Structure 1
Amino acid sequence: MGSMKKLFVVIPAYQASLTLESVFNRIPSEIYDRGARIIVVNDGSTDETAAVAARIALSRPNVEVIEHPKNKGYAQAQKTGFSHALQQQADIVALLHADGQYAPELLPQLLAPLDNDEADLVVGSRMLERGALKGGMPLYKYIANKSLTAIENFAYGLRVSEYHSGYMLYSRRCLMTIPFTKLSDTFHFDGEMIMMAGKKRLRITEIAIPTRYADEKSHLKPVQYGFDVLKIIWHNYRGRYEF
């Protein structure tokens, strides 16, 4: 395998003051031990997120906080974090949510295909092994997810189990190949990245992850999100993604 690849973890954080610290505490020690750099992008939060992030950065090595003075949204926070990680010569960039819904404990398993150069994009899928329903995903969300994914697979000629996970890990090659700054600023940015990885013939690996629906605050509006997905499919059909 050679030397350890340079890992960056990007955490977009909006109004995440109550959960951010626990996400850091749940990241396995082996991730810290390999010298992973963690970038928190505080996306114009008006709660205590900035103070919590600053405190974490003081108490842990290799943590950096980037501030968006105004809220720019989930996709823009990712674009900021990814661009910064690439400038710092990241080999692998993992996206982790600040609300703890996606288990930080699973980072080592999700990283393995990238560390071993068997994938360019790893998606943590809640739809494999029926993890979503077991984890308490509301039935209407499950059905919407399955339906939209079926339409997207048909439209993009891919066979993935879901486009709607927020647990995504990228190789440097993947982020250099996909012009991600040109993609939409919708909540469906992650799904667009999967679509683009397919277009660019990159290697996509899916790994089953458990779903945990507890009291996380989602800033996602389901109906708006559904329309965004359909709009992206339409734009792709019209050739808007031929970068």
Structure 2
Amino acid sequence: MTVQDQLPAIRPQRVVAVMPAYNAAATLSRTLADIPPGAVDEVILVDDCSRDQTADLARELGLTVIVHEKNRGYGGNQKTCYTHALQSGADYVVMIHPDYQYDSRVIGAAVEFLRLGICDVILGSRIRTRHEAISGGMPGWKYIANRFLTTVENVALGQNLGDFHSGFRAYRREVLETVPWEANTDDFAFDSQFLAQAVYFGFKLGDVPVPVRYFDEASSINFRRSVKYGLTTLWILLQFWLQKLRLVKFAIFQPHPPKPKALTVE
């Protein structure tokens, strides 16, 4: 018997990609084509009541498809994504938008940082340099807003991330089991809440560079909704510190109740 034969069997770690989708039929195939072979074990697409053929195309491409009967919003879509990813036994969950704005070739690199224990949460940073972001199509006003909010968030949360507002994210299972994301908004501020929660519960955050692509089919919120999102993000940072200082309690920072212990029969 060899030493290898004596070692306990190790269960393969399962990587699940989730795609919060809305009217993504024109870009879904390209996004999937860039995922490296063997990088993920399953792709779950949650269709948020699209008006196009997103769900039908996803089924043809062999994805696991969940369809919302009514539009639940970006945050509500993610809640369904993570619920099903955990139920499927995922050890690592990667969220990537199916609008081809983010380069899915980096999935393997992001997951490896999680496997090594270097980080618990990985974000894809679209902003390596100002020139690259602007030449990639990011509107000037959005770049300025991103830089301002990211700087404020880094200071408030004690981090050093390049892009707090990326739609490319990877998580260890423990993060999704600990963070009370079910209490978050169903709107776009879900992402800001999640990262503040991850910091509050002591998880390690990091990022990897992801080339930016802005074009007509890529999803993006308009200026008015961006202003609302920015103000909401600042309010979330204030909530974080009020909670940290034990001045006010907020539901988004309340830990899950402990699971009951299994009864033993003697």
Q: Which runs of 5+ in 1 are unaligned?
A: 58-62
Of 222, 228, 237, the residue aligned with 2:226 is 222
Contact 2:26 2:217 in 1 (8 A): no
What is the root-mean-square deviation of aligned Cα atoms in Å? 1.9
Deviation at 1:219, TM superposition (A): 4.6
What is the aligned length? 234
Instruction: Single out whichever of 43-52 and 165-174 deviates more from structure 2.
Output: 43-52
Preserved CA contact (<8 Å) 1:164 1:188: no
Larger radius of gyration: 2
Amino acid at match of 2:178: T
TM-score of the superposed pair, with normalisation by structure 2 = 0.81
Residue 30 of structure 1 aligns to a residue whose secondary structure is coil
Map 1:1-243 → 2, pairs under 5 A: 4-31=12-39, 36-57=41-62, 63-130=63-130, 131-220=132-221, 221-239=225-243, 240=250, 241-243=252-254
Q: Is the 8 A contact 1:7 1:92 kept in 2?
A: yes
SS in 1 for 2:147: helix
Displacement, 1:140?
Answer: 1.3
Q: How much does 1:123 deviate?
A: 0.8
Work out whether residues 168 and 190 of structure 1, in 8 Å CA contact, stay in contact via their aligned partners in 2. Answer: no
Contact 2:22 2:54 in 1 (8 A): yes
What percent of counterpart residues are identical? 36
Q: 1:12 to 1:80 in 2, by over 3 A?
A: same
Aligned-partner residue type, residue 84 of structure 2: H
Cα distance between partner residues in 2 of 1:162 and 1:191: 11
- In 2, Cα distance between the equivalents of 1:107 and 1:151? 28
Structure 1: distance between partners of 2:154 and 2:66: 35
Give, in angstroms, the shift of residue 188 of structure 1. Answer: 2.5
Q: How far off is 1:212 after superposition?
A: 1.3
The alpha-carbon deviation at position 164 of structure 1 amounts to: 0.6
State the shift of 1:230 in Å: 2.4
Distance 1:30 1:50 in 2: 23
What are the ranges of 5 or more consecutive residues in structure 2 without an aligned counterpart?
A: 1-9, 244-249, 255-266
